[in-house]
Structure 1
Amino acid sequence: MRVVTDTWWSEALGRQKSVSVVLPPRYAATGRPFQVLYLLHSYGGNRNTWLTCPSLADCAAAHRMILVLPESGRYWLINDAGGRRYEDYFVHEVVGQVEKRYNTVASRAGRAVAGFSMGGATALFQTLRHPHLFAVAGSHGGAFEAPLREGDPYAPHRADRRLMMPTVKDHERVWGPVGSAVRRAYDPYRLLAGLDAAASPRFCLDVGEDDYARMIAMNRNMRDALTAHGISHEYRERPGGHDWAFVDAGLPRLFGFVRENLGTV
């Protein structure tokens, strides 16, 4: 697996930022262009977190895709309540720089975005907000109702040191208080109501059977909302919890779905 680090000055964020780019075997700067899958990490991750998935290299090679791994740490890739413009950074700078530097299908038909937990939800938010930009969105255990969260629904699990869910303070420094303009802007159910089903991107969602009850519920809610709006999607509940082992087990199907649907919408 050939991994390249690209760094540039981000006008949106006012500092240097880097992304990791995974190039498939036989990548060439000329000739037939490559489709791109942007992979977004979970809360607290970074641009190398996805590289810990054992199946990633084989999936990228089998489907002839460039993978782009941006990072936002404990912030979401949104324009948030603290004034951080991560959405602008992602949809304009990251996509723009990748298409400037690499041999890509530089159109909606060549772009997909997916993620885990925070990243899975953000993949859906940004696809709903920019349906002209991405043709496919995928999510593993997506935290879709983060804009609707009140209090700390994960309080009973805080004794587990492995828990990577934001506290109330950390959540509100991104989303603002309940009822904020940022929360309204990214409310996925409001965004779905304004989407043209006939020209909609395609969505692939799954969640672990042993995930947190709240996570399972919000994924079922999203499945039901997509169905109610007539949006084409695939939804699965499969063995696993809220962890990267669950993500890795689902990568072959995610990559297959992306490959099947890119260029068809």
Structure 2
Amino acid sequence: MACSPTGSAIMIKPMIRLSVAVIAVLALCSPASAAEATPPQFADGFGLTVTSRPRWVDDQHRTFVFSVSTNQVPTPTLLDGQEPGRHTIVVTLPDNYDRTARYPVQYYLHGHPDRPDAAWNQRVVENATRGAGLITVQPNGSGRGWYSNWVNPGAAGPQNWETFHLEQLIPFVDANLNTIATRDGRAIVGHSMGGFGAFHYAEHRPDLFSYVGSFSGGLDLRNSEMRAAVVASELNPGSGSPTVGADAIFGPPVWPFDGVWNAQSPAQHVASLRGMGIALYTGNGGDLTINPIQAVLENRARETALVTASHLTAAGIPFHFSDYGNGSGWAPGCTGKHAEEACVQADMNHFVGLITRR
């Protein structure tokens, strides 16, 4: 037997009975054999150097991981297991990815202190995009990158996360994958710190994205609690090693030196989102006596979403807001807490539905 170009089996002599050998050949020739192919390979460019080649990390061969280096963030602070100078990128392809077709892309920004290759992020993306015809890219944002170009990085060296992601990573992905490389074919969303990053990026570069979403994002840098959370992430060894100064990312957090904080706060600068699809998702923390830290974090994130919603409403900009309280009516297992997988899964399921319909 031999395989045709379409993968079907062609008999080259009479078949009396299916032997084990024939069954093996049929298996090799079946459409499932496409899943055995190597992942798409990436060529250096746009300021990025591939430091580890793509490798599959799921049984269905939809998700692969690789790493790059960049002169915009040459020395990111590191969480346990991360390698100096290397930025992990995770890509989830559509089912039956066709290398002759073109697909829209969503960029999913992780929270703090998280990483793009965390198992739960992979599960959330794969579950939500199954059958969706959508590429998802999850870039490294460091435990404390805050998706910003830092104003006082000091000994940490350049920490230009915004430049890395928007000016290097996006054209790099478009050059190496079959994407719809236009604003209409691109969305951005994030969880927690990543929700801040998604709105921050979309407001700065509305020419790049047609849809933006936040899952429990910290969107109001004028909020004193948000400032305290950012400063804590700078000083806390659990956010990455080495630690950095309290003014490293946005400068001093106190008046009259807090101009960068005010200027970079997404909640108050929504005007540039006009014409873009916008979605906010948050719980209220649920029962504060159960997992109180995550309950309080979600409750405070909700306050920043409410401020953002009020500015969108005042500007006459339409948006979707899933304000799901204790989560009981949102998804099984969701109790309205921060970084709760069942809640974030439901957020992502809904967001993927919005952007694919658009």
TM range (shorter): 0.7 to 0.9
Structure number with greater CO (CA < 8 Å, separation at least 6) is 1
Per the alignment, in what secondary structure is the counterpart of residue 96 of structure 1? helix
Alignment-derived partner of residue 242 in structure 1: 338
TM-score, scaled to structure 1: 0.84
Alignment-derived partner of residue 357 in structure 2: 260
1:224 offset after TM fit, Å?
1.0
**Letter matched to residue 209 of structure 2:** F
Alignment-derived partner of residue 99 in structure 1: 174
Counterparts of residues 110-129 of structure 1 (less than 5 Å): 110-129=185-204
Counterparts of residues 12-23 of structure 1 (less than 5 Å): 12-14=72-74, 15-23=85-93
Higher helix residue share:
1
**Letter matched to residue 126 of structure 1:** Y
Per mean C-alpha deviation after superposition, the further-off stretch among 208-217 and 126-135 is: 208-217
Counterparts of residues 26-45 of structure 1 (less than 5 Å): 26-31=96-101, 33-45=102-114
1:183 corresponds to which of 261, 269, 280: 261
Counterparts of residues 30-179 of structure 1 (less than 5 Å): 30-31=100-101, 33-49=102-118, 51-52=120-121, 54-73=123-142, 74-81=144-151, 82=153, 83-146=158-221, 148-149=223-224, 172-178=247-253, 179=257
RMSD of aligned residue pairs (Cα, Å): 2.8
How far apart are the structure 2 equivalents of 1:135 and 1:170? Answer: 35
Q: Is the 8 A contact 1:41 1:50 kept in 2?
A: no
TM-score, scaled to structure 2: 0.63
**Letter matched to residue 141 of structure 2:** S
Per mean C-alpha deviation after superposition, the further-off stretch among 96-105 and 244-253 is: 244-253
**Letter matched to residue 7 of structure 1:** S
Runs of 4+ aligned structure 1 residues displaced above 6 Å come to: none
**Letter matched to residue 68 of structure 1:** V
1:121 offset after TM fit, Å?
1.2
Q: Is the 8 A contact 2:203 2:273 kept in 1?
A: no
**Letter matched to residue 182 of structure 1:** V
Per the alignment, in what secondary structure is the counterpart of residue 196 of structure 2? helix
Matched, 1:217 2:312: no
How far apart are the structure 2 equivalents of 1:3 and 1:94? Answer: 18
Per the alignment, in what secondary structure is the counterpart of residue 269 of structure 2? helix
Matched, 1:230 2:316: yes
Query: Highest Rg: 1 or 2?
Result: 2
Per mean C-alpha deviation after superposition, the further-off stretch among 176-185 and 241-250 is: 176-185
How far apart are the structure 1 equivalents of 2:159 and 2:95? Answer: 36
Q: Which runs of 5+ in 2 are unaligned?
A: 1-59, 75-84, 230-237, 286-294, 328-335
Q: Percent of aligned pairs with the same residue?
A: 23
How far apart are the structure 2 equivalents of 1:196 and 1:250? Answer: 20
How far apart are the structure 1 equivalents of 2:348 and 2:269? Answer: 27
Per the alignment, in what secondary structure is the counterpart of residue 80 of structure 1? coil
The number of aligned residues is: 249
